[in-house]
Chains A and B, each alone.
Chain A
Amino acid sequence: MPAVSKGDGMRGLAVFISDIRNCKSKEAEIKRINKELANIRSKFKGDKALDGYSKKKYVCKLLFIFLLGHDIDFGHMEAVNLLSSNKYTEKQIGYLFISVLVNSNSDLIRLINNAIKNDLASRNPTFMNLALHCIANVGSREMAEAFASEIPRILVAGDTMDSVKQSAALCLLRLNRTSPDLVPMGEWTARVVHLLNDQHLGVVTAATSLITTLAQKNPDDFKTSVSLAVARLSRIVTSASIDLQDYTYYFVAAPWLSVKLLRLLQCYPPPEDAALRSRLTECLETILNKAQEPPKSKKVQHSNAKNAVLFEAIALIIHHDSEPTLLVRACNQLGQFLQHRETNLRYLALESMCTLASSEFSHEAVKTHMETVINALKVSLPQFGSRDVSVRQRAVDLLYAMCDRSNAKQIVAEMLSYLETADYSIREEIVLKVAILAEKYAVDYTWYVDTILNLIRIAGDYVSEEVWYRVIQIVINRDDVQGYAAKTVFEALQAPACHENLVKVGGYILGEFGNLIAGDSRSSPLVQFNLLHSKFHLCSVPTRALLLSAYIKFINLFPEVKATIQDVLRSDSQLRNADVELQQRAVEYLRLSCIASTDILATVLEEMPPFPERESSILAKLKKKKGPGKLPDMDDSRRSVNGNTEPRPSSSDRNMVLSA
């Protein structure tokens, strides 16, 4: 292995790098670096003007030091000087330095831009490429201002060399990303579209990337690219492997270009022209067919390239969402991948299926794979399930996406069972998802209440406020489940160690509806009170505050326990509690219980009225966690809290509107 740089030597650099590698400690390394920095500084300041080779070498050393992680505060001037050298290697190092150590000094910027301008005008393709690479690497606003109108000219000029066209296209793409307002649309856009027909596939590749980006901003300017892209793609997928020569990668024809063309097509809706549409469909079918053919090579590169094109084709099919046969075929192909022995493919199939699940054409087809997806969650069955947390997460996402009325109970049960062993990092998300599904698909609200209480039991720490507020709101609003809720929380509270969230929910519900189960001697008022109070000292301040409110409600509901509760309120630990809120509540509730007549007490502590409809805060919280665009649309009909089915929401109002 060469210990010396290949090509141009720069021995001094190689020796320096060796020295650094031989340093036995961080201190030794810093010492050596400082010595070198001092050396370089003196050479730069020295009386003798340095020759190009030396300058290049020192600038390169500075770059190396910087990339090691140390700060460099000089050398920019020398690097900029190198730009005006006529020697390619010196220019190259100069450009590399300023691309990596971007400096915002305006004089330097001016000089750099000047050098770039000269190189662009030089008509020397290697120099032009260096300049274009630099602009693409740095992409600063100043460069955009200086060059954004020049580069399109270079791109479409007839005498520009292919390699320069490629660089120019991607350079323009970069400038468009950072300073879109400075890239002017113009006559050149039609010529860029025409580049899709170029002989040189490298040019076509770069042009496709550029058009895809520009079409986001100005779709109309580039819509003629659709037919050219389809034609090109069609030629590629039907070509024999020798046709594309060097653009064939492990027996796959131009995979990068195919993926880019498929991406470009995702910027537009399905073509209106019938002939074009059918040509595209044929193309997509060919790609799907190829996936079923025996592989031409055992190498993973072959299958990755082939499948990359396949997945992108499926993404296009999903984006168009207009050809049921294609959608179902895509779904079945993904279904095969779900059981593939390669983890990467299982992961990608799960991811891709999530989007398929929300299409009305393929939703049913996706559901047929539910068992396989459920198995992917089972770490205990490695032959079906996944040891990889990324894969499990995707499986959960997919279950959430494919959930509907027909499978909600099963999916929620599976998610709960997974929750027991899930990674802590994803528990909160699963809790939110289960809460949303349970509410959305509850036909029978006793099931909903059970599910939420299970959530609290299994993953209480990850049950956020929104979730338990919601279960209370629903119980308040639905007469038919109040008794069941009271009974169930009562039983759940019997457990020796129950989560504090359960105490909160239990306290509130018993406070409101404890009367519904008070008739049974096993859950008489005194028993209920003792049960709650037994947890009191284990709870945090907010929970205790809630329990105190429950106690005053008990006084109203059950006069027979009034004296007992008053004794508790009267105790020093309440009346002289260090926390202001607890003290205040104890004092005021005690007083209220003493002086209010039964009528007044009953009025003050009347049953909570139903909550009004508002946007679901759980859904909002999940959206915030996952980021925009990540949740599949829940396109079932909305259900109001009172159980009436409402018509399908319009696209402007896709949130579930529920009481918050």
Chain B
Amino acid sequence: MFALVANQKVVRDWPCFGVVLGGSFLPRGGYTVLLFKMQFMLLFSRQGKLRLQKWYVPLSDKEKKKITRELVQTVLARKPKMCSFLEWRDLKIVYKRYASLYFCCAIEDQDNELITLEIIHRYVELLDKYFGSVCELDIIFNFEKAYFILDEFLLGGEAQETSKKNVLKAIEQADLLQEEAETPRSVLEEIGLT
């Protein structure tokens, strides 16, 4: 098991691939180019297994699967020294690899790519702080937590709280509520047989 963001040296050793942020599927007309719109965020492993999928636009399950398949392939085909941004369909993809996971966001064509790269970094920092030296397994076994943390940070595709402290505080508070409210469990439950 290897750390996602253990220390700076570890992060520096991995080439940066950029963050993949997706673009918009809403009709363009009337509404303008100025909407910062993150369309979706995907986390996937180097084997192409999807670990997290957050969609900020309404799409059918079939479309989501298609997009995921195509995009994962496209990003995995990128070479190390290439830049972190690529155009895909009418979207801009910003992506970055941390250890064994690719973080991929789709933003609209006119959006700010660099700040999106840092949104990804901030999310990784949050995961790292919460799980203590996070790695892919943490996200696999605690997938629901990854979604909760994401929601505290990004809502509707926009950063709602950019103070790391405040986001973590909100999550810790929720965890405390959780522990208070536990009901006693059966023995079978305790060992996970039901």
Chain A residues packing against B (C-beta within 8 Å): 1-9, 11-12, 14-15, 17, 21, 51-54, 60, 63-64, 67, 69, 71, 87-89, 92-93, 96, 102, 126, 129, 133, 136-137, 139-140, 163, 166-167, 169-171, 173-174, 177-178, 201-202, 205-206, 209, 212-213, 216, 246-247, 249, 254-257, 259-260, 263, 266-267, 299-301, 304-305, 307-308, 311-312, 315, 343-344, 346-348, 387-388, 390-391, 393, 627-630
Contacts and interface: CB of A to CB of B under 8 A. Distances in A.
Contact of A344 (B8, B114, B143): B114
Given A5-B145, A177-B26, A348 B160 contact: no
Contacts of A267: 34
Contacts of B145: 5-7
Contacts of A92: 144, 148, 174
B103 interface: no
B182 A8 contact: yes
19 contacts: A92-B148, A93-B144, A96-B144, A137-B151, A139-B58, A139-B156, A202-B166, A209-B159, A212-B35, A216-B31, A246-B165, A304-B114, A307-B114, A343-B82, A387-B82, A388-B82, A388-B83, A393-B87, A630-B109
A165 to B, nearest CB: 10
Contacts of A60: 144
Interface of B: 1, 8, 16, 18, 26, 28, 31-37, 50, 53, 58, 61, 65, 79, 81-87, 90, 109, 112-115, 117-119, 121-122, 130-131, 135, 137-138, 140-145, 147-148, 151, 155-156, 158-166, 170, 173-175, 177-179, 181-183, 185, 189-194
Given A51-B183, A206-B160, A255-B118, A170 B155 contact: yes
Contact of B113 (A167, A348, A630): A348
Nearest to B87: A390
B163 A246 contact: yes
Contacts of B173: 126
Contacts of A304: 114-115, 117-118, 121
B158 A206 contact: yes
Nearest to A132: B155
Nearest to A173: B156
Contacts of B113: 308, 344, 348
B82 A88 contact: no
A104 B34 CA distance: 31
B156 A171 contact: yes
Given A11-B191, A216-B32, A344-B18, A67 B179 contact: no
Contacts of A255: 115, 118
B193 A216 contact: no
A486 B56 CA distance: 58
Contact of B141 (A4, A67, A174, A388): A4
B174 A170 contact: no
Contacts of B114: 304-305, 307-308, 311, 344, 348
